[in-house]
Amino acid sequence: MSEDNQVSRKNFMEVAIWSIGGIITLGMTIPAIAYLIGPAIKKVQEQVWIRLGSVLKVEIGVPTLFKVKVQQRTGWIVNEEEISVYVLTEDGRNYIAMSNICTHLGCRVRWIAEGNSFFCPCHNAIFDQEGGVVSGPPPEPLERYEVKVEDNQLYILGG
Amino acid sequence: MATRLGNWIDERMGFRIVWDAIFLRKIPKVNWFYTLGSASLFVAMNQAITGILLTIYYVPTPDHAYDSVQFITTEIPAGWLIRGLHHWGASAMVVLVVLHMLRVIFYGAYKFPREITWMTGVILLILVIGFGFTGYLLPWDQKAYWATTVGTRIAGTPPLIGDTILRIVRGGADLSAVTLARFYGVHVWVLPASLILVLAFHLYLVIRNGISEMPKKGE
């Protein structure tokens, strides 16, 4: 073996130190990233049918507000949260249920009977009674829930 | 390319002289006991990194502390690992720092010109014990609660001023939300800030004075 091919003690230590240091750094960084993004990549809660109330409460042709409490688990805290849903029917048989969350930036819209439209106070957005955008910045109509009627009770699919 | 970039930065920062002073300084021929200081430093860095990560989810109030710790351990990916490293690192820290101190005592490395290095080391030992004491309460389980009840009661034993000390440590007469909050504040702000300052000075002195040679027979 020639002199040049021999790995000196100094070079060996240098490679060893950088390698071990690199392994330790990776061993710390990868779990740290998983730890930080964990809650973001967690699967969302399973959707369940939520009972809103009697169909008789819904006036024909006018969005009717239902408020229901749902159990929500965020982190280690379980609490009751109130969600608001507008239900509209034209014929008393087919129902549409709309979220009151503005599709622009998440403020809450409310039904203004005189204007015959939904209004969002944050950026003056206006939606028609079926949730379609009339004016303002929202990119899409109000979100709809899947609806079913059982024994004259309205249910929506949410979670 | 890498060398040119290195040169470009070095011309503006002069980092090589600092790097060489830290990592390429001359040391006498010593044994493995001389690595205990570096080992303490390594575990201290582990404690800092895992500790910062734990604060992302931990909440220091009586109604959330225990649940948030359980949440970290059982539901966050690698949470058990991060908490485990911090938990066992804490014990390792105390053991390593004491062994480091014993090495300095047995090799007489505290003598001239290293007296100030020794004194800052004593302060660092006290800080490490402070970390252990305040950190022990944070999981807010039975062990934490009663250990701190006893520990703060011990702090209250000196005559005359004892009761005042107890009240200051607990933030009132009883162990409460105030105690938990102030132990947390001390654990994550007061002690780390102090540790960084004293540790930097300690390391400066180690580099400035060099490490001591092993004592020879008959000296």
pLDDT (tens digit per residue) in B84-93: 999 999 999 9
- Name the E strands within A44-116: 48-54, 64-74, 77-89, 95-99, 110-112
A1 band by pLDDT with thresholds 50, 70 and 90 = very low
Distance from CA of B194 to the nearest CA of A (A): 25
Q: Which amino acid, A97?
A: A
B157 band by pLDDT with thresholds 50, 70 and 90 = very high
Q: Which single residue is written with the structure tokens 């809450």?
A: A108
Token pair of B79 as six digits? 């949470």
Token pair of B85 as six digits? 């490293």
**B9, part of any domain:** no
Q: Taking CB atoms and an 8 Å cutoff, what residues of chain B touch A35?
A: 53, 56, 76-79, 82
**B124, part of any domain:** yes
Question: pLDDT tens-digit profile of B95-134?
Answer: 999 999 999 999 999 999 999 999 999 999 999 999 999 9
Q: What percent of chain A has pLDDT over 70?
A: 96
pLDDT for residue B47: 98
Q: What percent of chain B has pLDDT over 70?
A: 100
**B18, part of any domain:** no
Distance from CA of B66 to the nearest CA of A (A): 10
What are the beta bridge partners of residue A111? A118
Span between the terminal Cα atoms of chain A, in Å: 72
CATH of the domain at B170: 1.20.810.10
Token pair of B101 as six digits? 């101190």
Contact residues, B window 140-199, toward A, CB-based 8 Å cutoff: none
How far apart (Å, rounded) are the C-alpha atoms in residues B128 and B76? 28
The structure's pTM equals 0.89
Is residue A17 predicted with pLDDT exceeding 60? Answer: yes
How far apart (Å, rounded) are the C-alpha atoms in residues A103 and B106? 71
**B4, part of any domain:** no
B68 band by pLDDT with thresholds 50, 70 and 90 = very high
Which residue in A17, A76, A79 has the most chain B C-beta atoms within 10 A of its own C-beta, making it the best mutation to test that interface?
A: A76
Span between the terminal Cα atoms of chain B, in Å: 52
Mean pLDDT of B31-43: 97
Of B49, B53, B67, the CB nearest to A76: B67
What are the beta bridge partners of residue A116? none
pLDDT for residue A67: 94
How far apart (Å, rounded) are the C-alpha atoms in residues A144 and A150? 19
Is residue A13 predicted with pLDDT exceeding 50? Answer: yes
Question: pLDDT tens-digit profile of A54-112?
Answer: 999 998 989 999 999 988 888 899 989 999 999 999 988 899 999 999 999 999 999 99
Report CA torsion sign: B91, B143, B84, B79: negative
Number of domains forming the structure of chain B: 1
A46 band by pLDDT with thresholds 50, 70 and 90 = confident
Of B56, B68, B82, the CB nearest to A76: B68
Average pLDDT, chain A: 91
Of B67, B68, B76, the CB nearest to A35: B76
Q: What percent of chain B has pLDDT over 90?
A: 95
A107, A140, A141, A144: which is closest to A124 by C-alpha?
A107
pLDDT for residue A5: 67
Distance from CA of A82 to the nearest CA of B (A): 23
**B8, part of any domain:** no
Residue of A nearest to B74 (CA): A76
A131 band by pLDDT with thresholds 50, 70 and 90 = very high
Report CA torsion sign: A90, A95, A97, A102: negative
B158, B177, B156, B159: which is closest to B167 by C-alpha?
B156
Backbone angles phi, psi at A65, to 5 degrees: -85, 130
Q: Which domain holds residue B171?
A: 28-209
DSSP H or E stretch at residue A4: none
Which residue in B81, B85, B140 has the most chain A C-beta atoms within 10 A of its own C-beta, making it the best mutation to test that interface?
A: B81
Is residue A43 predicted with pLDDT exceeding 80? Answer: no
**B157, part of any domain:** yes
